[in-house]
Copies of this chain bind each other. A is one copy, B any other.
Amino acid sequence: MSSLSPTARVILGILKFGPRSGYDIRKVIEISTRFFWGASYGQIYPELRRLERAGLVEAEAHAGSRRRRVYGLTRDGERVLHEWLTDRESFTFEYRDEWVLRLFFGDLLSTDDVLTNIRAARQWFAGAAEFFRAEIEPRARAGREEGEFFPWLSYEYGLEFLEWAAAWYERAERRVRREARRRGSPPAGSRPADRPRDRR
């Protein structure tokens, strides 16, 4: 029913682990969910106030002089979070990838330009995987040792996806080279790739 906004879903989940300020939430997102579920401050602060008005979170009193609003889940917040986590209806899946879009238009480019793009894509994914190993893995591993199994598992999903993509582009490079040879050597004739047809 209540249909949480995208940002609300990750906020409620994080708050279930314990009270947090908007700033804390942002920090947690930046080293964990942002790779598959981002949220920027521009969203976090207004969303926290909306959730407060809706009675799903509440600001707790806090000691200390520094300005700081620490939120915790209410009973309603816990209920709504659990409903969402076990909901079988909603399954946002969005994928937007400029490397694939450029690859899709590969027939409009020279083989060399396509190969340059493919190598750039492979390097980008390999670099992202490297970043994961260096920056995300230690934190996920630490959490795991304290009993949090699933952040670790989703870290592995991310890493293995990046490695899969890098390997895919490596294979693609070989395939494109082979295809270029196939088109380049045969007795000429029928080379539709130079000037794409006008087909409607």
Residues of chain A touching chain B, judged by Cβ–Cβ distance below 8 Å, are: 6, 9-10, 13, 16-20, 24, 32-33, 35-38, 81-82, 85-86, 88, 90-109, 113-114, 116-117, 120, 124, 146-151, 153-154, 157-158, 160-161, 164-165, 168, 172, 175-176, 179, 190-193, 196-200
The residues of B that contact A95 with a CB separation of less than 8 Å are 35-36, 94-97
A198 to chain B, nearest CB (A): 4
5 contacts between A and B (CB under 8 A): A18-B196, A82-B108, A85-B113, A147-B197, A161-B165
Report yes or no: B85 in contact with A92, Cβ–Cβ below 8 A. Answer: no
Q: Which residue of B lies closest to A96 (CB)?
A: B94
The 5 closest A-B pairs by CB, nearest first: A147-B192, A106-B150, A18-B198, A94-B96, A92-B98
Give the chain B neighbours of A99 by CB distance below 8 A: 91, 93
CB of B113 within 8 A of CB of A33, answer no
Taking a contact as CB atoms under 8 Å apart, the answer to whether A192 and B146 are in contact is: yes
